[in-house]
Amino acid sequence: MFNRNNSVFLFFSFNLCLVFALHNASSHNERKPYVVYMGALPAGGSKVSLSAVHHNILSQAIGDERIAVQSKIHSYGRSFNAFAAWLLPHEAKTLSERRGVVSVFLSIKRKLHTTHSWDFLGMPTAVKRNFQIERDIIVGVIDTGIYVDIPSFNDKGIGPPPTKWKGRCQTGLNFTGCNNKVIGAQAFNLLDNNNQSSSPADFEGHGTHTASTVAGSLHGGASLYGLLNGTARGGVPAARIAMYRACNEGGCADVDILAAFDAAIADGVDILSVSIGGSPASYNEDPIAIGSFHAMQKGILTSCSAGNGGDRGVGPTVTNVAPWIFTVAAASTDRHLVTEVELGDGRKFSGISVNIFNSSSFPLTSGTLASLLHNGSGRYCGEGTLDESKVKGKILYCLTQNRQDYIIEKMGGKGIIISDQSPRQFAFPFIIPASIVKFPEIGDKIEAYINSTRQPTAVIHPTKSVKVNGSFMASFSSRGPQFIAPNLLKPDITAPGLNILAGFSPLISISGEIDDTRTSVYNILSGTSMACPHVSASAAYVTSFHSDWSPAAIKSALMTTAKPLGVKDVDVELAYGAGMIDPIAATNPGLVFDIDEAAYINFLCKIGYNSSNLRQITGNTTKDCSRISGAVGEDGLNYPTINLNLNTVSNNPKIDGVFHRTVTNVGEVTSVVYKATIEAPKGLSIEVSPSVLSFDSKNQKKSFQVSLTGNYPDEETMHLSGSIIWSDSIHNVRIPVLVSRPAGSTGQ
Ligand SMILES: *[C@@H]1O[C@H](CO)[C@@H](O)[C@H](O)[C@H]1NC(C)=O
Ligand SMILES: *[C@@H]1O[C@H](CO)[C@@H](O)[C@H](O)[C@H]1NC(C)=O
Ligand SMILES: *[C@@H]1O[C@H](CO)[C@@H](O)[C@H](O)[C@H]1NC(C)=O
Ligand SMILES: *[C@@H]1O[C@H](CO)[C@@H](O)[C@H](O)[C@H]1NC(C)=O
Ligand SMILES: *[C@@H]1O[C@H](CO)[C@@H](O)[C@H](O)[C@H]1NC(C)=O
Ligand SMILES: *[C@@H]1O[C@H](CO)[C@@H](O)[C@H](O)[C@H]1NC(C)=O
Ligand SMILES: *[C@@H]1O[C@H](CO)[C@@H](O)[C@H](O)[C@H]1NC(C)=O
Ligand SMILES: *[C@@H]1O[C@H](CO)[C@@H](O)[C@H](O)[C@H]1NC(C)=O
Ligand SMILES: *[C@@H]1O[C@H](CO)[C@@H](O)[C@H](O)[C@H]1NC(C)=O
């Protein structure tokens, strides 16, 4: 979720949480939560015996039975072998050196990062569905919990859960049980267990929103107090939801994320949706990378948010970058939210917010004029800077700062016009009528009107949605490149993540603030967290037509049929990957790029992971890089994108790279000829060999080689962006080709 003061809020709560958790383990206040990872499950092992094994190992490392009992947090053992415990640094070290222990790592906290969006994606309510199969698909959502008793989770007409389901439904505070839509719910808050954190109920709204975006039921008249009124539905409205709560307001602890993966994989979910910030560090220290690897081994695709780090000159920000993860960026839909401000002289200006109040005219003033001191110190309308008698009954014009709506509301103000220099894309609610306008273009006009008028007035109108042309990348959506595997393009794909209306939990106010009393079973949220479930649902939709496809094949189908966004240079593929998803086209991609477990392992060896790192990810102690020699080409992976990252400081770097790819014919026609069409920018030559691929049976594989050569045309260009399209005149299998050089290589 993306909130106005999210980072401050999350950071603050995180500290509180940790202090609380450590206090709980007060007998050893230096102890910290660690995961002791022991790899894949032993053949034929049961949970009970594993738990006893974990206890023995822990007792030996700590040297005290009683402390060992207190220190143990959790035994994993349904999908992989691990346990979590409160440890001192030397105990962690002892454990890490023990035979059978693959790795020991400190648990840290990760951040949390729809009516119309499905129509926008070309999936109308009446789209062709495999209803019988779709209702047997279970989407596991690792998030903040779920509130079941809302229209989005109505279970009418889908019958009892599929028989393959092995999960549980736990009860707890504000959570009385599941239904045939939400078939599973469990909470893992292993470090700070209390009535609230141990309940699967959603006290944040985030998990209810993401889960309903994936598989919410159809419900007409859905809106946030009338705004974005329409029919709400998830992408696969017949599919089932299993919620694994691993997060609370403080974020998501590694020990809980791993517990969620451990349970979900064993429970029998088909797709995993994880809108949680991962780590940009190496895969072997990232619980989402490890958990999703185990999921991939069981044929489960994990779709994750790319992160909300944006593009604001802070370098690469993309997270969740393992190649077996589907990494999702966020873009707008074709619908924008506009909150109009009308001045007393009849002029109207557009701003942005979620304003669900009715419009009324009130006297207007500025923070400058309402300053307590007469020197303009109130222009930000900050705490203690305004004269209450000049605020009461008025709409205030203020330069931007946090939480001004509360200050003005407390003084009896009637509304706020916030003037902000940075372009705003995502809209959120305030506790009084509000609109954010652009400074200085619009802000100065409003202030000049206030300065020059004897009795200025204004109306802040209710927010309207307006249809606009096309889609653009959200500025907050995290950008590549990433440096774990520099020639692997991340993010992979883009989906709507800006101003998305979906189900919401009435256990929290619509603004997330404690003193806001408004609740709703729908809310409008923005973030790559909202984009991820669109891709999870699309993957489930493709699965309902091709239940035998591997996670990589489903991912390939969605990537090669995605539509590139028309924005160039700063936004290129490092922002949107293959482009905006097209779920219907993805059911019939023609060719797919498949990747199996062995190929991922070859790739890991190629990018420099040694045998011990490899064990940390795969959990398999027999995997050994020295015996592997399969990965060829710049990236060593059969990925449906091609990315050459020139790691050079040269002013005029030479482009020279070779990539190898293999496609599988999954089309209906068994005998078919595909021809390559190349689109290359100035300076880049893309050669495909062979450039014609003839298939004479279904599932036949053909390989080709892509050679990139050339020179940068000038000093300014950073990215050379082209494509290869394999076409049989019915299918267009599009592979983006991107060549990048590091910022700074031009000497600027
Ligand atoms: C949540 O539980 C509390 C305590 O039982 C109760 O007072 C409250 O009404 C419940 N809220 C909702 C929305 O169910
Ligand atoms: C928390 O749970 C305990 C045990 O079930 C109960 O006694 C207590 O009243 C609960 N507290 C709240 C705030 O619901
Ligand atoms: C939403 O739209 C429907 C149909 O157009 C209408 O009947 C209903 O009153 C609207 N609801 C709100 C809250 O505006
Ligand atoms: C807006 O006005 C309508 C009709 O008068 C009323 O039903 C509704 O409650 C009002 N909304 C707010 C937020 O005051
Ligand atoms: C206004 O005056 C106060 C008190 O003298 C001072 O602290 C503040 O910095 C001044 N603000 C501006 C914008 O000049
Ligand atoms: C409005 O008046 C205030 C106070 O005199 C001044 O600081 C501000 O620059 C004026 N703004 C415009 C746009 O005229
Ligand atoms: C909007 O899209 C339509 C159809 O694609 C196109 O014809 C039109 O030129 C576009 N308008 C603008 C302002 O981009
Ligand atoms: C593998 O690499 C890690 C660093 O990632 C290093 O600490 C370790 O010693 C290496 N192991 C082997 C067997 O080379
Ligand atoms: C570990 O990898 C080896 C070689 O790839 C394989 O034969 C074996 O089945 C794997 N073991 C487990 C537990 O996955």
The domain spanning residue 130 has which CATH number? Answer: 3.40.50.200
Query: In whole angstroms, what is the distance from residue 142 CA to residue 298 CA?
Result: 17
**Same-domain check for residues 359 and 326:** no
- Provide the pLDDT confidence category of residue 45 given band limits of 50, 70 and 90: low
294 in active site: no
**Residue 424 has what DSSP assignment?**
P
Which of the residues 119, 143, 192, 270 is marked catalytic? 143
Domain harbouring 690, CATH code = 2.60.40.2310
The pair of three-digit structure tokens given for residue 745, joined into one six-digit string: 């290589």
Strand segments, DSSP code E, in 38-100 are 72-76, 82-87
Under a CB-based contact definition with an 8 Å cutoff, are residues 686 and 722 in contact?
yes
The secondary structure of 247-278 as a DSSP string is EETTEEEHHHHHHHHHHHHHHT-SEEEE-B--
Is the CB of 208 inside a 6 Å radius of any atom of ligand 1? no
Which residues have a Cβ under 8 Å from the Cβ of 63 and sit 6 or more positions away? none
Token pair belonging to 472? 């653009």
Query: How big is the chain by its Cα radius of gyration, in Å?
Result: 27
Query: What's the CA-to-centroid distance between 197 and ligand 1, angstroms?
Result: 14
What pLDDT does residue 9 have? 24
Ligand nearest to the CA of 431: 4
Give me the torsion for CA of 426, 431, 437, 438, rounded to 10°. Answer: -60
Report the separation in Å between the CA atom of 472 and the middle of ligand 7, taken as the mean of its atom positions: 14
Within-domain flag for 613: no
**Burial of 373 per CB tally in 10 Å (0-12, 13-18, 19+):** exposed
Contact between residue 152 and residue 232 where contact means Cβ atoms under 8 Å apart: yes
| Beta-strand pair 103-106/227-232 | unpaired
Distance 672 CA to ligand 4 centre (A): 61
The CB of 509 under 6 Å from ligand 1? The reply is: no
- Binned at pLDDT 50, 70 and 90, residue 44 comes out as low
Q: Are residue 641 and residue 735 in the same domain, yes or no?
A: yes
Over residues 619-648, mean pLDDT: 84
Domain edge (last residue) among 72, 88, 107: 107
Domain C-terminal end among 467, 498, 530: 467
> Per the structure, how many domains does the chain have?
4
At 289 the pLDDT is 93
| Structural domain includes residue 142 | yes
Looking at the fold, whether 146 and 225 belong to one and the same domain comes out as yes
Please list the residues that pair with 603 across neighbouring strands. Answer: none
Question: Atom 13 in ligand 3: which residue has the minimum CA distance?
Answer: 226
Q: Are residues 94 and 184 in the same domain?
A: no
pLDDT at 386 over 90: yes
> Which structural domain, as residue segments, surrounds residue 366?
336-467
The answer on 481 and 463 residing in a single domain is no
Contact present, 323 and 595 (Cβ < 8 Å): yes
Ligand 6 center to 394 CA (angstroms): 18
- Which residue among 107, 135, 156 closes a domain? 107
Q: Which ligand is nearest to the CA of 193?
A: 2
Residue 534 contacts by C-beta under 8 Å, 6 or more apart in sequence? 114, 117, 121, 213, 235, 328, 495, 496, 497, 581
Catalytic residue at 206?
A: yes
Ligand nearest to the Cα of 205, by number: 1
The CATH number assigned to the domain holding 461 equals: 3.50.30.30
**Amino acid at site 538:** S
Residues 680 and 546 in one domain: no
- Residue whose CA is at the smallest distance from ligand 5 atom 14: 375
Q: Is 376 in the pocket of ligand 5 (CB under 6 A)?
A: yes
The whole-angstrom separation of Cα 39 and Cα 621 is 7
Verify that 194 and 136 share a domain, yes or no.
Answer: yes
User: Which residue, by CA, sits nearest to atom 2 of ligand 6?
Assistant: 451
CA distances from 229 to 323, 338, 468, 497 (A): 38, 15, 17, 18
Q: Measured from the CB, is residue 506 less than 6 Å from ligand 1?
A: yes
Residue 622 in contact with ligand 9 by CB distance below 6 A: yes
Cα(711)–Cα(694) distance, integer angstroms:
33
Give the DSSP H/E element, type plus range, for residue 31. none
Establish whether 305 is a catalytic residue.
no
Whether residues 239 and 313 share a domain: the answer is yes
The pTM assigned to this predicted structure is 0.90
Q: Which residue has the higher pLDDT, 622 or 710?
A: 710
Instruction: Kindly identify the ligand whose nearest atom is closest to the C-alpha of 384.
Output: 5
Ligand 4 center from residue 746 Cα (angstroms): 58
Task: Please count the other Cβ atoms lying within 10 Å of the Cβ belonging to residue 588.
Answer: 16
Residue nearest to ligand 8 atom 4, measured at CA: 613
Q: pLDDT tens digits for 596-606?
A: 999 999 999 88
The reply to whether ligand 8 has any atom less than 6 angstroms from the CB of 613 is: yes
Half-sphere exposure (CA, 13 Å, Cβ side) for 619?
25
Assess whether 150 and 194 both reside in one domain: yes
134, 394, 561, 612 from 129: Cα distances, Å = 8, 53, 19, 45
Whether 415 and 554 map to the same domain: the answer is no
Question: Which residues, in sequence order, are CB contacts of 358 under 8 Å at separation 6+?
Answer: 462
Contact present, 449 and 343 (Cβ < 8 Å): yes
State which ligand 8 atom lies nearest to the alpha carbon of 282: 5
Tell me the residue type at 134: E
Decide if 10 contacts 111 (C-beta within 8 A).
Answer: yes
Judge if 534 and 485 occupy the same domain. yes
Give the C-alpha separation, 380 to 402, whole Å: 9
Going by the DSSP 8-state scheme, the letter that residue 507 receives in this structure is T
pLDDT over 90 at 639, yes or no: yes
Q: Cβ(706)–Cβ(661) under 8 Å?
A: yes
Distance in angstroms (rounded) separating the CA atoms of residues 194 and 601: 41
Give yes or no: residues 405 and 456 share one domain: yes
Q: Is 566 close to ligand 5, i.e. is its CB under 6 Å away?
A: no
Give the pLDDT confidence of 235-271 residue by residue, as tens digits: 999 999 999 999 988 889 999 999 999 999 999 999 9
Residue 397 CA: which ligand is closest?
6
Residue 5 maps to a domain: no
Within 6 A (CB) of ligand 6 lie 368, 376, 444, 447-448, 451
pLDDT of residue 28: 47
Q: Which of 46 and 142 is assigned the larger pLDDT?
A: 142
> Bridge partners of 342?
348, 459
Indicate the range of 76-80, 110-114, 321-325 predicted with least confidence: 110-114
Instruction: Copy the structure tokens of residue 507.
Output: 């256990």
Enter the tokens of residue 410: 């407390």
User: Is 15 among the domain residues?
Assistant: no
In a domain? residue 620: no
User: Measuring from atom 3 of ligand 3, which residue has the nearest CA?
Assistant: 221
Choice among 206, 209, 294, 534 that is catalytic? 206
Cα 32 to Cα 18, 73, 108, 257, 697: the distances in Å are 9, 11, 10, 17, 57
pLDDT over 90 percentage in the chain: 65
Q: Using CA positions, which residue lies closest to atom 13 of ligand 2?
A: 195
Whether 517 is in the pocket of ligand 4, judged by its Cβ within 6 Å, is: no
Residue spans of beta strands (DSSP E) within 624-695: 642-645, 654-665, 672-679, 684-689, 692-695
Which tens digit of pLDDT belongs to each residue from 7-33? 222 222 222 222 223 334 444 468 999
Q: Is the CB of 358 under 6 A from ligand 4?
A: yes
